Amino acid sequence: MPGRVASAGGCLLACLFAVAPAHAQVLGIALDGKARMNNGEVEILGTPAPDRAAFYDTTNGQLRLLGEVEVPISFQGPPSSIAISADGREALVTAFTRADPERAGAFTANPAMAVIDLASTPMRVSQTLTLVAAPSSVSLHPDGRHAWVPHTGADSVSVLEKRAGIWEVVEVVRFEAGSAPIATAFSADGAHALVSLPGSQRIAWLAADQGRPVLPARHEMSAGVGPTALSFCGDTGLAVVANYGKVTGDVDTISLIDTRGALPRVIDTASVGMSPEGVACAPDGRHAAAALQNMSTLPRSHPLYSSDSRLVVLAIESGRLRRVAETGFGGWAQGVGFLDDARTVFAQSMIDRRVHVFRLDGETLVAQPGLTFTSGSPAAYGLSGR
């Protein structure tokens, strides 16, 4: 509800999003009310605020809070645990873990997905679907009737279908033992999908027949260490993947994938910094962005500790990634994304409970007013289809 957002946020953001296009796009932000970082250790607050998801409408360039719904949220997994239908009327929300009701201060698996009716007044959870295992993330097929939910710990992906208004698990796809599927992303036409497999250090390219996977995978690629978050670059046929690494202080990478040929392939890999938690591609395919945790989750006594995360923006030019801008923002980075104008970039910080917003002006990132939450930390996001 509006009272949970810093009072200045709505007015400032209304001005910021004046650069957005005239048609609506719905932005959903997952807010984890229970987790905090205490000198390198994740703790559950003694009296946490409820987890919730907040949804915003950007019609005519004005960011308007549509509403909030209490729903389980988790910072664990890639920051892609919200998927929003193209018409902005429904959202799917997953959470890898929840607070254990039987063990104070502990997490437990949360094998469920919530369906949120965004068109109702007030918004409400219209369905809770039990899955075969804890979900790592969720992606919605362009047809709006199918979704894929990877289960890292179970080496599988649940295929969901909406039938007579109810979501059902219609298939569970098994991957190689230890491959640990963690994120999926559909091509703009819905005919194919990428699946990141950090356990086997590969990315699978699958055909999708009417929203359902065709096995075996048509092709597998190698990008970098720990491929996790994925993002397609609009309808260009390009995509990017974040190679999260091992959190050892070594520089990590993101990779550019070209899916337009007979077989998709990694065509470039660029060093970006330490632990890219989120990655995004602009809808016009001209830029990619990575949100780096940058060792901000380490104990303060660690020699590599940093108080800030980093946002890196790269130009995509002739199949290559060229670093063009970089800035710091709050610690414990999560999701990063572009709005429809392809120049407004946002990045989430769990530690300062902010969605930081920047305007890419040429090759300079200019800070803009962002969103600050008084309870709950932004752990993931979703955007309705363009």
Domain that holds residue 244: 2-383
**Most distant CA atoms of the chain, gap in Å:** 56
Q: Is the pLDDT of residue 46 over 90?
A: no
Task: Work out the pLDDT band at 1, boundaries 50, 70, 90.
Answer: very low
**Residue 6's pLDDT band (boundaries 50, 70, 90)?**
very low
Mean per-residue pLDDT for 360-370?
93
Residue-wise pLDDT for 248-284, tens only, equals 999 999 999 999 988 999 999 999 999 999 999 999 9
- pLDDT for residue 325 is more than 60: yes
More confident residue, 69 or 375: 69
Q: What residues form DSSP beta bridges with 97?
A: 109
- Give the lowest-confidence range in 54-58, 80-84, 148-152, 250-254: 54-58
Q: Which amino acid is at 72?
A: P
Task: Report pLDDT for 59.
Answer: 63
Q: What percent of the chain has pLDDT over 70?
A: 92
pLDDT at 23: 47
Mean pLDDT within 323-351: 95
For residue range 73-115, list pLDDT tens digits in order: 999 999 999 999 999 999 999 999 999 888 888 999 999 999 9
Question: Which CATH number goes with the domain that contains 185?
Answer: 2.130.10.10
| Long-range CB pairs of 102-107, under 8 A, 24+ apart, other chains included | 104/44, 105/43, 105/44, 106/44, 107/44, 107/76
User: What is the spatial distance between Cα 351 and Cα 266, in angstroms, rounded to a whole number?
Assistant: 34
Task: Return the closest-CA partner of residue 295 out of 356, 251, 355, 358.
Answer: 251
Q: What is the rounded average pLDDT for all residues in the chain? A: 91
pLDDT for the residue numbered 379 = 98
- 180-194, pLDDT tens digit by residue? 999 999 999 999 999
Structure tokens, 201: 């250090």
pLDDT at 125 over 50: yes
Model pLDDT, residue 57 = 80
Return the number of other C-beta atoms located less than 10 Å from residue 53's C-beta: 29
Supply the pLDDT for residue 2. Answer: 28
pLDDT at residue 144 is higher than 50: yes
pLDDT one-digit tens code per residue, 216-233: 888 999 999 999 999 999
Query: What phi and psi, each to the nearest 5 degrees, are found at residue 63?
Result: -80, 115
CA torsion sign for 43, 44, 50, 52 is positive
**Cα 279 from Cα 232, distance rounded (Å):** 10
pLDDT value of residue 20: 36
In whole angstroms, give the CA distance from residue 278 to residue 359: 18
Query: What confidence score (pLDDT) does residue 10 get?
Result: 38
Query: Which phi and psi angles does 16 have, rounded to 5°?
Result: -60, -45
Number of folded domains in the chain?
1
What pTM was computed for the model?
A: 0.92
User: What is the structure's pLDDT at 386?
Assistant: 59
User: Mapped to the 3 state alphabet, what secondary structure does 112-146 carry?
Assistant: EEEEEECCCCCCEEEEEEECCCCCCCCEECCCCCE
pLDDT tens column, 348-364: 999 999 999 999 999 99
Give the residue among 344, 244, 346, 345 at the shortest CA–CA distance from 294. 244
